Amino acid sequence: MYSPKFSLIHELAPRLLRLHCRLTPFFVHQTLIEQGLDKVFSEAIAEGELDFLAGRTVAIAVEDIDWQFTVTLVQERLAVQPAVAEPDAVMRAASRDLLRIAARQVDPDTLFFQRRLKMEGDTELGLAVKNLLDSLDMDSLPKPVVKVLDKAATVLAAE
């Protein structure tokens, strides 16, 4: 169902997000992302399921807004850092696709085979991260967060 409203959202959302990422100091994004990761992955970290990330770096590159960050495991906590020169693995996708993965509206494998999610570098590390994303339990997030993620992913995915 085509709608001029959805077309405008599709066109403006990445531009606004790019502007936001350029103007907002990295530590703001870092704090928010780390808090979210702590909430979602606290049990997995406690059980050692993320030990494969210790001393390793995975860059998340958001292609349509030209922004990326790096995730690693430091002292049993997921740490978010600015982009590093040579991460061990890189996952690349458009913001709307990453949002759809986070909202559990699409399987990362589907996007990978459609060439909308790209992995570079250490394949084994990339697959471990992808499998971790597949195992996410949305029930661990506060319901308002899940609702916002779902709504945003639905609106941005509508074509």
Residues 10, 15, 21, 23: is their CA dihedral positive or negative? Answer: negative
Based on the structure, what is the number of domains in the chain? 1
**Range of 130's domain?**
4-157
* DSSP line for 90-111: EEEE-HHHHHHHHTTSS-HHHH
pLDDT digits (tens, 9 = 90+) for 90-133: 999 998 888 888 888 888 889 989 999 999 999 899 888 888 77
pLDDT digits (tens, 9 = 90+) for 7-31: 556 677 777 878 888 888 999 989 9
- Measured distance CA(93)–CA(153) in Å, rounded: 14
Token digits of residue 155: 């609106």
> What is the mean pLDDT of the segment spanning 32-42?
86
> What is the mean pLDDT of the segment spanning 37-53?
89
- The angle that helices 143-157 and 4-23 make with each other, rounded to 10 degrees, is 120
CATH number for 136: 3.30.1050.10
> What is the mean pLDDT of the segment spanning 135-155?
74
- Measured distance CA(138)–CA(104) in Å, rounded: 8
